[in-house]
DNA sequence: CTCAAAAGCTAATGATATTAGCTTTTGAGC
DNA sequence: GCTCAAAAGCTAATATCATTAGCTTTTGAG
């Protein structure tokens, strides 16, 4: 009966650690309870359900990722900014695989956290659009370009995490080249009048 | 007691249908058993575990995807081949989201299916490399390029499926443009002596 | 000091995967 | 056609989870 002084934040934080070490798919209330030193049903005082916890982890990941990228891009422009952002994105995903995976969890339609997550996603998009400002793309093309960048980086990170690329060697080179190729494509697109 | 005449293939096929409709994450032996008209433990006569079933679904997806892309690329070269492959990839993932998701399931180290999956993945890579043959990339650069293409398409497909892009409008355009931008980047890379 | 709300707990329920062990069908070989 | 072993189904049992209900104790505001 000692009062544990738990908060939703602490529960989410414990869940984040577990997801990062064991994998997002292996997250369970049992593990979280064990880690924070409480019986499983007590968690429901702080979190509505396992699914809600997953969603909260998703917004945590999106928030942290956005902050990291913002920090990484500050003071840079053009190619340098793009590279810094992409590297930062990948670094975050590798350092916090569980949180990052949570970022891709499908929110149930009922979840009120969906709005918050969408907001964070939107901020991320705005960040990418800001970085793309140097490329003279008109409004719609900028969105297409932002989607490509997000897709490319996300896809690379996911496949890497999964071991989907043969050898781990040269992965850093592949990543940098990938960014360069996209960069070159954007540049060649922005010089054409389309 | 009526003998159901079940086979591993049929179990996997039923699982594929369930995964495609309910989502890969919602796949369960209970649902599979109900669908094939058998009690849950009977499934163990055909499949070692739920996890093995997931893995089998993964190789099914990789196999089908490879076949589809091979068919789509036949008779084409260069930009046309690349576009056809990418579109086909996306089409498969949208038509069979469960099987496609299974393709990204992390195989347990013990699974003997890992080798088979790796083989299918390798075939897919070879396919992409064949398509890239028109771009005058030396061996190593071709691998980097193939990784980029795989990453970009995969990332796009996953984010799309997740609803990660705001409006559904213009997604087709975004996808085609993404492929074009990568294509342009490859072309500009292959003309430079690097 | 009081008392209501918050935070913890135990007990119970229901879903699921998995294992053990039994029964029945099937099919190959005689 | 008969036999028998393996294959394919079943029930029963176990363990792990998530979740709900309802109880107890602490905490903190007044």
List the single residue in B152, B162, B170 with the smallest CB-CB distance to A148. Answer: B152
Q: What is the pLDDT of residues A105-145, one digit of tens each?
A: 999 888 889 999 999 999 999 999 999 998 989 888 999 99
A99: three-class secondary structure by DSSP: helix
Q: Is the pLDDT of residue B73 over 60?
A: yes
Q: Which residue of B has its CA nearest to A181?
A: B185
Average pLDDT over residues A60-78: 96
Distance A12 CA to D11 C1' (A): 42
**Residue A134: predicted pLDDT:** 87
Q: Is the pLDDT of residue A191 over 70?
A: no
Mean pLDDT, chain A, integer? 93
d(Cα A111, Cα A51) in Å, to the nearest integer? 9
Nucleotides of C under 7 A from a protein CB: 6-12, 15-21, 24-26
Residues found in chain A: 194
**Residue A56: predicted pLDDT:** 98
**Residue A190: predicted pLDDT:** 72
**Residue A1: predicted pLDDT:** 56
Distance A108 CA to D20 C1' (A): 21
Q: Is the pLDDT of residue A189 over 90?
A: no
A36 touches strand D (CB under 7 A): no
Min distance A103 CA to chain B CA atoms (Å): 10
Q: Which residue of A has its CA nearest to B167?
A: A143
Distance B50 CA to D23 C1' (A): 39
Angle at A40 between CA A112 and CA A32, to 5 degrees: 70
Question: Which residues from chain A sit within 8 angstroms of residue B174, using beta carbons?
Answer: 143-144, 147-148
Q: Which residue of B has its CA nearest to A23?
A: B106
**Residue A67: predicted pLDDT:** 98
d(Cα B99, Cα B90) in Å, to the nearest integer? 13
Q: What is the pLDDT of residues B91-116, one digit of tens each?
A: 999 999 999 999 999 998 888 899 99
Q: Is the pLDDT of residue A4 over 60?
A: yes
Distances (CA, A) of B20 to A148, B57, B119: 26, 11, 24
pTM: 0.93
A144 and B182: CB-CB below 8 Å? no
Distance A29 CA to D18 C1' (A): 8
Per-residue confidence band for B194, with pLDDT thresholds at 50, 70 and 90 = very low
Terminal Cα distance for chain B, rounded: 69
Q: What is the pLDDT of residues B58-69, one digit of tens each?
A: 999 999 999 999
Residues found in chain B: 194
- Neighbouring C-beta atoms of residue B110, cutoff 10 Å: 9
- From the alpha carbon of B48, which nucleotide's C1' atom is closest? C18
Q: What is the pLDDT of residues A28-63, one digit of tens each?
A: 999 999 999 999 999 999 999 999 999 999 999 999
């Amino acid at each position: 009966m000692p009062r544990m002084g738990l908060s939703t934040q602490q529960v989410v934080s414990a869940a984040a650690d577990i997801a990062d070490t064991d994998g997002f798919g292996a997250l369970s209330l049992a593990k979280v309870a064990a880690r924070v030193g409480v019986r499983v049903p007590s968690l429901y005082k702080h979190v509505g359900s396992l699914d809600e916890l997953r969603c909260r982890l998703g917004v945590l990941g999106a928030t942290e990722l956005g902050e990291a990228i913002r920090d990484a891009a500050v003071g840079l422009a053009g190619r340098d900014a793009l590279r810094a952002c992409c590297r930062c994105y990948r670094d975050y995903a590798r350092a916090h695989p569980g949180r990052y995976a949570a970022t891709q969890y499908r929110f149930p339609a009922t979840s009120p956290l969906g709005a918050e997550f969408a907001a964070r996603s939107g901020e991320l998009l705005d960040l990418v659009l800001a970085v793309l400002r140097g490329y003279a793309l008109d409004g719609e093309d900028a969105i297409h370009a932002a989607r490509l960048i997000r897709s490319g980086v996300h896809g690379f990170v996911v496949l890497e995490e999964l071991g989907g690329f043969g050898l781990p060697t040269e992965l850093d080179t592949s990543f940098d080249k990938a960014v360069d190729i996209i960069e070159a494509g954007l540049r060649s697109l922005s010089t054409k009048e389309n």
